[in-house]
Amino acid sequence: MMSAPTFRTEIIQRLGRRARSQSDRVGVRTQRRIERIVLYLVLVVLGVVFFLPFYWVITTSIKTTPELNLMPPTWWPHTLTFEHYPEAITPEFGRYFVNSFIYAMATTVIVAITSTLLGFVLTKFSSKFGEIFFLGIIASMSVPFDLYVVPLFMLLLGIQKNTGVPMLNTYWGMVFPWIVFPFGTFLMRQAMLSVPNELLDAAKIDGASTLRSFWQIVLPLVRPNMAALCIFVFIWRYDEILWPLVVAQESNMYPISVGLVEYIGEYFIEFGQFTAASVVAIAPIFVLYILLQRYIIQGIALTGMKG
Amino acid sequence: MRDQRFFPKDLTAIVVLLAAAAFFALVRLYPIADALLLSFQRKVGAQEVWVGLENFRTLSTDTIFLQSIWNSFRYTAMAVPGVLVVGLILALLVNNVKNTFWRGIFTGAFFLAYVVPLVAVAVMWRYMYLPSRMGLFNALLGLGNLGPIGWLDSTQTALPSLAIVRVWKYSGYAMVLFLAGLQAIPETFYEAAMIDGANRWQRFRNITLPLLGPTTVFVVMVSILSAFMMFTETYVMTGGMFTSSVRGGPDFSTTTMVVNIYTTAFERFKMEYASAMTVVLLLLMLIVSIIQYRNLRPTWEY
């Protein structure tokens, strides 16, 4: 039983509630929109802040020399010039570039081969010895490479003295400590765990040798992991300064990282020249990044890779 | 668990394993042992002489060495929280971008700094840190009639300036890891909290933050390890052009442990003394690792 007034109030209340909920919905929608605009705005501002150093170095490299000497500086180049680039890219600079590529490339190829092979052997031919070795690999991953610089230098010196094989001031000496790369071995071992053993058993029954089944069956399956490893090893070694600095005794062996610093230290050169030089040094990695961005970011997210 | 042989049955596998193990011992184990041995010796003429703990005794009163330890700690304490906080904020912001295209653009933009070579980056920051109004930062401060700040030229600001570079460069790396961590949190947790009437802060405080625990631990560990070994920033950004101070300066305020080891070994050629420093640094790293392992390991899973 419902009396008339309460019934009316009920209806009024319901209508009111509906109206309020509708206005709420509109309110929520505008609120969401405002939130989104604020979010994008904040991100764009942060993006500009993060990009500022790149903007500054690139614009500096294309300002004319008189403009570069203005104080305070101009915020954007008033006259464009590319004259600093040919000035910066001297034959020595080209040599540094080549050295960097040889060091980074050679290390990448060697690391890719040894890591994959070791990952294969460690997972598909499990043994006590392999397990002990893998423990050693894991343990050594927590010792930063920079700590090894002094004793590794002594090692190269010792090898050079005792065997007569030149180690210091050679590419070979720079690549030497990377022949077995703990992080790479770890990464490829993890990748190999997902390769089914049945495939290998089948290959064995068909009479394939160990190396052949590695080459033809396992390798194609772990290619994505190998590619990720290669990209990172290349980027890290291209950027490295301490170890190449120690091994390279003469300027003809300097990689670009050491060469850039020499640029600042030894001779006074103009702002335009060395900003141009650093733009050129960044360029290959930048191109690599643009081409493989998604791949690189996924690789980091999955493994947390870090030199 | 099936019975395991000490060596694999396959000959190729044995050869690969033995060769790798021998090489590993040569470049990763022998050097540590060598550094340890060398740290108890000293060169007299062309002869290595056993001097016991003398190198370590000298180290304990070597003010530059002690300052380098202090600098490494200070630098780590400044840079790591910065990387962590900025990285987390970036991740939270980017995670709210639902449009795939823009999400990719923002992620890529913040991550760029991590990929580009540190040496080139340090060169450009050095130029922006010029102590005169010619430098970008002092020019910007000049717009508000502030400064100029000496940045790399003053003992007060030199090390913090280097820490800023690290925050800029590694936040994107932390962001990518945090983003992966955020995506692993099930959406249902948030829905349940919303039904219970939890507001945005409560949801962040009680769901996001604790569930990012393992990611945070990883980011902290990696960042500490790398900040503690800082070398490149000091090597590239101090000494030489535009400044009167030497590398590691002004007044040793940017001389970190690795910088000190490098100068001792390769500029002053005191290999034994540098080895003793290496041993001390190795022990410090060991202690840091143990503390991290003990205290930062999450004790639960979800």
pLDDT digit string, tens, across residues A280-292: 888 888 888 888 8
- B7: nearest CB among A51, A127, A261: A127
Mean pLDDT for the stretch of residues B43-67: 83
Class of domain B60-296: mainly alpha
**Contact check, Cβ <8 Å, A53/B168:** yes
pLDDT of B244 > 60? The answer is no
**Contact check, Cβ <8 Å, B8/A125:** yes
Smallest CA–CA distance, residue A150 to chain B, in Å, is 7
pLDDT (0 to 100) of residue B254: 87
One-letter amino acid of A69? N
pLDDT (0 to 100) of residue B166: 93
Confidence of residue A229 (pLDDT cuts 50, 70, 90): confident
> Which of B23-37, B74-88, B230-244 shows the highest mean pLDDT?
B74-88
Q: Burial of B217 by CB count in 10 Å (0-12 exposed, 13-18 middle, 19+ buried)? A: middle
Please name every residue paired with B48 in a beta bridge, in sequence order, or none if there are none. B43
**Contact check, Cβ <8 Å, A46/B119:** no
Three-state SS for B256? coil
| Chain B interface includes A163 (CB < 8 A) | no
| Chain B interface includes A287 (CB < 8 A) | no
Confidence of residue B87 (pLDDT cuts 50, 70, 90): very high
Question: Hey, how many other C-beta atoms are within 10 angstroms of the C-beta on B294?
Answer: 8
Q: pTM for the whole thing?
A: 0.85
Confidence of residue A104 (pLDDT cuts 50, 70, 90): very high
Task: Give the separation between CA B173 and CA B255, rounded to whole angstroms.
Answer: 26
Task: Give the separation between CA A214 and CA A2, rounded to whole angstroms.
Answer: 84
Three-state SS for A306? coil
ipTM entry: 0.84
- B5: nearest CB among A127, A242, A275: A127
Smallest CA–CA distance, residue A109 to chain B, in Å, is 16
pLDDT of A221 > 90? The answer is no
Smallest CA–CA distance, residue B21 to chain A, in Å, is 7
| Chain B interface includes A286 (CB < 8 A) | yes
Identify the residue among B136, B165, B182, B260 best suited for mutation to test binding to A, counting A beta carbons within 10 A and taking the highest: B136
Task: Give the separation between CA A303 and CA A299, rounded to whole angstroms.
Answer: 6
Which distant-in-sequence residues (6+ apart) come within 8 Å of B300 by Cβ? none
Domain layout of chain B by residue ranges: 60-296
Task: Give the separation between CA B82 and CA B166, rounded to whole angstroms.
Answer: 9
| Chain B interface includes A162 (CB < 8 A) | no
Angle, to 10 degrees, between the axis of helix A223-239 and the axis of helix A91-124?
Answer: 140
Task: Give the separation between CA A149 and CA A152, rounded to whole angstroms.
Answer: 5
pLDDT of A266 > 60? The answer is no
pLDDT (0 to 100) of residue A275: 84
Smallest CA–CA distance, residue A6 to chain B, in Å, is 31
Query: Residue B250: is the preceding peptide bond cis (ω within 30°)?
Result: yes
Mean pLDDT for the stretch of residues A225-245: 88
Contact residues on chain A for B142, CB-CB shorter than 8 A: 72
pLDDT (0 to 100) of residue B73: 92
**Contact check, Cβ <8 Å, B117/A285:** yes
Task: Give the separation between CA B164 and CA A191, rounded to whole angstroms.
Answer: 36
Domain layout of chain A by residue ranges: 4-61, 91-303
Class of domain A91-303: mainly alpha
pLDDT (0 to 100) of residue A31: 83
**Contact check, Cβ <8 Å, B180/A301:** yes
- Tell how far CA B81 is from the center of its chain: 12
pLDDT (0 to 100) of residue A164: 83
B40-74 burial by CB neighbour count: b if 16+ within 10 A, else e? bbbeeeeeeeebeebbbeebeebeebebbbebbeb
Question: Closest Cα partner for A117 from B25, B26, B12, B8?
Answer: B12
